[in-house]
């Protein structure tokens, strides 16, 4: 017997249930992982609420964790029991003491990186990798806008941008979060509660605006983001923290300067083991070198059974950076 979190209906944090279950043996192409640290991501709240429906309820939740391999399937050759591993694109169910994961979704974890560092950074770090290096390849000295700069993804983006020599303007919701983003490498910050985002971007760029905006907030920042873009700039909408962007009139892209728009996700960029290996190697190099540091405050390390409290804090914007569940 083991413990896990599941949802039997969609709704708020109270729908997260702490239950017993019997882990099955891994299938031929699966690896069984004893989780040591579990990543909490905003997308988990979308699954729980029903914004991203699951095929069937009840269902596990979560896709990211780091731990030790305990069993492997018959066709698994590159991974063995005792290996330290991390994953971020598993089938739902990572909020669990034990989880079976397809071998193509598993990365071997270097000894220099702890389980907690890995679980706090893997999905977020792979996300920053595809955003800054593939969706649009940010260049040295380039100025760009990144929303929610003090969140888990945002703080990694601040550090990665600094390592590239690029100038990240980050939106934040408080002076404390502004200090945190600047400490991690943001070139400038904008407090969206007190300042007009588009106006400040224009001021910071001497009226030139930016070529790319990365927006995980969604509905609340949609128009402001478009107003920050240069002619033929790229709007990268990769999240819905304030609600989804709906009913878009495509003519607005024309009216604001023949803009480009994309709605990417990690699963569109990492679809094979080779793609996972290349991206994870880049991330691990940044972590091992110290260019990216991931520090999880003790107040944001929750026992697995307290997933409800973790989700409540996340949705109330009471967290900074990454949070973890510890089995």
Distance CA 189, CA 205 (A): 13
**Mean pLDDT of the region 88-94:** 96
Contact 172, 181 (CB under 8 A): yes
2: pLDDT strictly greater than 90: yes
Burial of 301 (0-12, 13-18, 19+ CB in 10 A): middle
Top-level CATH class of 140-264? alpha beta
Task: Render 213-262 in DSSP notation, one character per residue.
Answer: EEESS-GGGHHHHHHTEEEEEEEEE---TT----S--THHHHHTTS-EEE
Domain coordinates of the chain in residue numbers? 2-121+270-326, 140-264
Query: Domain 2-121+270-326: which topology?
Result: Quinone Oxidoreductase; Chain A, domain 1 (3.90.180)
Q: What angle do CA 286, 217, 149 make, to 5 degrees?
A: 35
Residues 115-143 pLDDT 10s: 999 999 999 999 999 999 999 999 999 99
Residues 259-314 pLDDT 10s: 999 999 999 999 998 999 999 999 999 999 999 999 898 999 999 999 999 999 99
The pLDDT mean for the chain works out to 95
Q: What angle do CA 145, 147, 152 make, to 5 degrees?
A: 125
Distance CA 184, CA 150 (A): 9
SS3 12: coil
Contact 166, 188 (CB under 8 A): no
- Where helices occur in the chain by DSSP H, the ranges are 42-49, 115-130, 152-164, 175-183, 197-204, 222-227, 251-255, 273-289, 307-315
Q: What is this structure's pTM? A: 0.90
Contact 30, 85 (CB under 8 A): no
**Mean pLDDT of the region 195-214:** 97
Residues 136-173 pLDDT 10s: 999 999 999 999 999 889 999 999 999 999 999 999 99
């Amino acid at each position: 017997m083991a413990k896990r979190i599941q949802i039997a209906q969609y709704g708020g944090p109270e729908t997260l249930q702490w239950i017993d279950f019997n882990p099955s043996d891994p299938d031929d192409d699966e690896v069984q992982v004893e989780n040591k640290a579990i990543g909490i991501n905003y997308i988990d709240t979308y699954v729980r609420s029903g914004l991203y429906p699951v095929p069937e309820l009840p269902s596990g939740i979560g896709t990211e964790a780091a731990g030790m391999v305990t069993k492997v399937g018959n066709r698994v050759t590159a991974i063995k029991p005792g290996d330290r591993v991390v994953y971020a694109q598993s089938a739902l169910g990572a909020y669990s003491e034990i989880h079976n994961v397809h071998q193509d979704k598993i990365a071997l974890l270097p000894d220099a990186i702890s389980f907690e560092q890995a679980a706090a950074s893997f999905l977020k770090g792979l996300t920053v990798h595809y955003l800054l290096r593939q969706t649009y390849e940010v260049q040295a000295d380039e100025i760009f806008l990144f929303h929610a700069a003090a969140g888990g993804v945002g703080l990694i983006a601040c550090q990665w941008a600094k390592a590239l020599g690029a100038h990240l303007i980050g939106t934040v919701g408080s002076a404390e979060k502004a200090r945190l983003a600047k400490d991690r490498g943001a070139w400038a910050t904008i407090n969206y509660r007190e300042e007009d985002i588009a106006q400040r971007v224009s001021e910071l760029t001497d009226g030139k605006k930016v070529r790319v905006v990365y927006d995980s907030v969604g509905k609340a920042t949609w128009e402001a983001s478009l107003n920050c873009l240069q002619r033929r700039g790229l709007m990268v909408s990769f999240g819905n923290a304030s609600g989804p962007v709906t009913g878009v009139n495509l003519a607005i892209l024309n009216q604001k300067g023949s803009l480009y728009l994309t709605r990417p996700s990690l699963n569109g960029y990492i679809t094979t083991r080779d793609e996972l290996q290349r991206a994870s190697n880049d991330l691990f190099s940044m972590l091992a070198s110290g260019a990216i540091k991931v520090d999880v405050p003790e107040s944001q390390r929750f026992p697995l059974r307290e997933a409800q409290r973790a989700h409540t804090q996340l949705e109330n914007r009471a967290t900074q950076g990454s949070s973890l569940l510890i089995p």
